[in-house]
């Protein structure tokens, strides 16, 4: 089914964010695991996998609309050197995604593509949940202090995303 170029462009914009987020969260998971912050590493690993599912859905929709998925486009991947920076960088990227999906929904409605509108609406909700998580972590750090926050994020070494030799 031939889709609107405007809609395909909006979908590719979302794909760019999803592909960036996969990499951002994956490296943050590996870094947290290396630091012994296994619970936080597990969260970032699960976010990376969730973003991969999102990317797959967006790619499938682009292909359904007979478009070409732009898989080589990325935003800058801002690797956080500390857990605080990692949370802030994730929040920043999720907010970019939130704006992109809101704009994409408008384009889809204008172009009469309710299937894409529905997909982007679902992805927007999940993006908003990620924004909420990051904002809550930042607030928690303010309330209990960084050291207490990090102490609560050590968890168990058996979490997903641990290196082969760590599990």
Ligand-binding annotation for 135, yes or no, is no
Ligand-binding annotation for 129, yes or no, is no
Q: What is the DSSP string of 92-117?
A: HHHHHHHHHHHHHHHHHHHTT-HHHH
Nearest in space to 100 (alpha carbons), one of 26, 29, 19, 23: 19
DSSP state of 2: P
Ligand-binding annotation for 85, yes or no, is no
Distances (CA, A) of 122 to 54, 105, 108, 119, 126: 10, 10, 14, 5, 7
Ligand-binding annotation for 103, yes or no, is no
Ligand-binding annotation for 139, yes or no, is no
Nearest in space to 21 (alpha carbons), one of 134, 166, 117, 149: 134
Ligand-binding annotation for 128, yes or no, is yes
On whether the CB atoms of residues 127 and 97 are closer than 8 A, the answer is yes
Ligand-binding annotation for 28, yes or no, is no
Report residue 31 as tokens: 């870094």
Binding residues for Fe cation: 18, 50-51, 54, 94, 128
Binding residues for heme b: 52
Binding residues: 18, 50-52, 54, 94, 128
């Amino acid at each position: 089914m031939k889709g609107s170029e405007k809609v395909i462009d909006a979908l590719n914009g979302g794909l760019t964010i999803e592909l960036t987020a996969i990499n951002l969260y994956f490296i943050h998971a590996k870094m947290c695991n290396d630091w012994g912050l296994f619970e936080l590493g597990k969260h970032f690993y699960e976010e990376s996998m969730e973003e991969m599912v999102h990317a797959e859905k967006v790619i499938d929709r682009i292909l359904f609309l007979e478009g070409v998925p732009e898989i080589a486009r990325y935003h800058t991947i801002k690797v956080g050197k500390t857990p605080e920076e990692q949370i802030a960088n994730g929040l920043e990227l999720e907010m970019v995604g939130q704006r992109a999906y809101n704009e994409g929904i408008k384009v889809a409605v204008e172009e009469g593509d309710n299937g894409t509108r529905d997909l982007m609406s679902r992805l927007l909700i999940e993006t908003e949940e990620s924004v909420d998580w990051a904002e809550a972590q930042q607030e928690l750090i303010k309330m209990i202090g960084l050291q207490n926050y990090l102490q609560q994020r050590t968890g168990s070494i058996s979490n997903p995303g641990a290196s082969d030799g760590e599990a």
